Amino acid sequence: MKRIFLIICFIGATMASMNLRAQTPEEVVERMNTEFSKGDSLGMSFDFVMSIPILGTFRSTNYTLGDKLKIELNVKGNKVITWNDGTTEWEYDSEKNEVKITKAKPKEDNENSGNTDLVTSVSEGYDLSFDKKTNDKVWYIVCKKNKSNKDKDDPKRIDLAISKADYSTIYMKTKAKGIGISMENFKLGVTEAQVTFNPANYPNAKIIDER
């Protein structure tokens, strides 16, 4: 009788543990957003990838910390680096070996910007479901635009991959107007030096101040 009782307790504990682990896609995304929000104070870096028909694939590495944004873009061997602190923008062009200084554009107006709303807002106007493909370490979530979402610019589908270990974002992929968009390699933690233009690093570059 004691043995049967122990078996029942074991089964009950196992089922309780499974229920604790069982989560809806909405709950997983909510936990992901909690982790994502740490980037507001710690800063965040990620790769932004655009696949444009005929033109090819373009990848930039973005760094954000508070109001500061840095974008590193490499196109056919030419490196273009942009720094934006909300007031001033610096753009270094390696091919021309010059730094152009202008008044800053708002973050939301910057192409390939540090704006990550597309990731964090998927629970609004989208129906979430787990993808059929499985992985012991990753949740794959499909976000399909629902009828309540009247924003014509929002993509019809967004694919998310979220780590089961710590709910960090592994990638976000979507397609808008025929252009493939991917945000990946997210990392928390950015220093002031990483997002601040330092003229000492470009001593031979021509400075063009257009403010």
- Taking only the tens place, the pLDDT of each residue in 112-138 is 444 566 566 676 789 999 998 878 899
Please report the pLDDT score of residue 160 as a whole number.
93
Count of domains forming the chain: 1
Residue 191, in any domain of the structure: yes
Length of the chain in terms of residues written: 211
Q: Give phi and psi for 22, each to the nearest 5.
A: -65, 125
More confident residue, 116 or 151: 151
Residue 199, in any domain of the structure: yes
Residue 2, in any domain of the structure: no
Residue 147, in any domain of the structure: yes
Q: In CATH, what number is assigned to the domain containing residue 179?
A: 2.50.20.10
Residue 38, in any domain of the structure: yes
Residue 55, in any domain of the structure: yes
The overall average pLDDT reported for the chain is: 82
More confident residue, 55 or 60: 60
Residue 131, in any domain of the structure: yes
Which tokens hold the place of 163?
């780590």
118, 169 Cβ separation under 8 angstroms: no
pLDDT digits (tens, 9 = 90+) for 32-57: 988 888 888 899 999 999 888 888 88
Give residue 94's domain range: 24-209
Residue 97, in any domain of the structure: yes
208, 61 Cβ separation under 8 angstroms: no
